[in-house]
Amino acid sequence: MSSQALISVNNLTRYYGDNCAVNDISFELAAGDILGFLGPNGAGKSTTMQMLSGNLAPSRGEILINGIDLLDRPGAAKSALGYLPEVPPLYREMNVDEYLRYCAKLRRISKAGIGDAMELAKLRCGLTAVGKRLIGNLSKGFQQRVGIAQAILHSPQIIILDEPTVGLDPIQIREIRELITELGESHGIILSTHILPEVESVCNRVQIINAGKLVYASDMKDLLEQHATGRFEISLGNPPGVDELRATDLIDSVEQLDANSFIVHITSTADRLAAVAVNNNWELRKLVAHEHSLEHIFVNLTLGDEEIV
């Protein structure tokens, strides 16, 4: 696969009357990315997903799919896309095989290739045993799997998933997350959600949209590292007094949790803190960084705070 971005979005904007639902956003999706597209309800996530999938025209801006302009050549661009909207496009009166065969024809998969495409999609989505079951009689989790199966049926390079775990129970959520992680090994995926643990568990990149504007974009690892707090929880087998800890040069503040455990804010590195503990015979048992959670970062960004503290 070439190094060219699978999706390139430039200055994408969408108005509904006088309301600007999506305001001049730009980003890219590369092969192997699982991009978490976060935002509070009404932020513009679903509107963006509908534009990316070709179901809604932008007011202005450009969407390139594998270098192909989605507005100029929609057929060619959409052939590389698989899309699961928030409400899966399922026909409850069909069984799984009937539905997937119907979707394969819509995707113009050759007659000779339909059977293999169906079997592969069912295998990847854990649907092999339910091919003859009516979709309307399946659990919500299996219905979501059918929705994902139709999205990957034609082996697209890009999969767009809009709130894929809404309404599922914890076991079903875990299963869908595992499936998304597996699919991310061979596809570029955009996961639109407002569920923060979803992003933390499966995504390698995150971007946050608020009031139609893209307010943050980063690798997940960088996102958390950039907002490390400099606070650490330490547990000591031979702890000094709190005053002695506070008097240590690299420690700014101390909060005692119990007789052996403390939260400390340091001006140096964790390695330096560990060395001080060893040199002073404090019997270091635990040293864990306290970073801001994605939830903390998300709330601060979407509330419009200038910085995260």
pLDDT digits (tens, 9 = 90+) for 43-86: 999 899 999 999 999 999 999 999 999 999 999 999 999 999 98
- φ, ψ for residue 210 (rounded to 5)? -145, 130
Cross-strand pairs, 35:
190, 205
Q: pLDDT tens per residue, the chain (309 residues)?
A: 345 789 999 999 999 999 999 999 999 999 999 999 998 888 999 899 999 999 999 999 999 999 999 999 999 999 999 999 988 899 999 999 999 999 999 999 999 999 999 999 999 999 999 999 999 999 999 999 999 999 999 999 999 999 898 888 888 888 899 999 999 998 999 999 888 888 888 999 999 999 999 988 888 877 666 555 578 889 999 999 999 998 988 898 898 999 999 989 888 888 888 999 999 999 999 988 766 667 777 777 777 544 433
The residue out of 197, 220, 243 marking a domain boundary is 220
- Do 208 and 232 lie in one domain? The reply is no
pLDDT at residue 197, rounded to an integer: 84
Are 100 and 176 found together in one domain?
A: yes
Does some domain include residue 305?
no
State phi, psi for 103 to the nearest 5 degrees.
Answer: -65, -35
Residue 157 domain-assigned?
A: yes
Rg (CA), the chain: 24
* Domain span including residue 172: 7-220
In angstroms, rounded to a whole number, what is the distance separating the alpha carbons of residues 76 and 292? 43
The answer to whether the CB of 95 falls within 8 A of the CB of 102 is no
Nearest-angstrom CA–CA distance, 12 and 188? 20
User: Are 40 and 161 members of one domain?
Assistant: yes
16-54 pLDDT, tens digit per residue, is 999 999 999 999 999 999 999 998 888 999 899 999 999
The pLDDT value recorded for residue 306 is 41
Q: Give φ, ψ of 126 to 5 degrees.
A: 70, 40
Indicate whether 123 and 73 sit together in one domain.
yes
CATH of the domain at 243: 3.30.70
Is 309 among the domain residues?
no
Please give the pLDDT value at position 201: 87
CA distance 59 to 188: 26
pLDDT given at position 224? 62
Q: How high is the pLDDT of residue 249?
A: 86
Tokens representing 80? 């590389």
pTM: 0.75
Distance from C-alpha of 95 to C-alpha of 73, rounded to nearest angstrom = 33
Residues 13 and 140 in one domain: yes
Residues 102 and 139 in one domain: yes
Q: In sequence order, which ranges of the chain are alpha helices (DSSP H)? A: 45-52, 74-78, 96-106, 111-124, 140-152, 170-183, 196-202, 220-226, 242-247, 270-279, 294-302
262 with 212, same domain? no
- CATH number at 13 reads 3.40.50.300
CA dihedral of residues 104, 110, 116, 119 (deg, nearest 10): 10
Q: Count how many domains the chain has.
A: 2
Q: Are residues 208 and 258 in the same domain?
A: no
Residue 41 has a pLDDT of: 86
Q: Are residues 216 and 99 in the same domain?
A: yes
> Where does a domain end: 181, 197, 220?
220
User: Are 173 and 265 members of one domain?
Assistant: no
Burial 237-252 (b: 16+ CB within 10 A, else e): eebbeeeebeebeebe
Q: Does residue 117 belong to any structural domain of this protein?
A: yes
Q: What is the pLDDT of residue 2?
A: 41
What tokens appear for 177 in the block? Answer: 């997350």
Q: Which residue has the tokens 């932020």?
A: 43
Give the model's pLDDT for residue 196. 85
Question: In degrees rounded to 5, what are phi and psi of residue 21?
Answer: -80, -35
Please report whether residue 300 resides in a domain. Answer: no
List phi, psi (to 5°) of 259.
-60, -30
Cβ neighbour number for residue 197 with a 10 Å cutoff: 14
Q: Domain boundary residue among 220, 254, 282?
A: 220
Residues 210, 233, single domain; the answer is no
Tell me, yes or no, whether 125 and 17 share the same domain: yes
8 A C-beta contact, residue 287 and residue 270: yes
Q: What is the pLDDT of residue 228?
A: 56
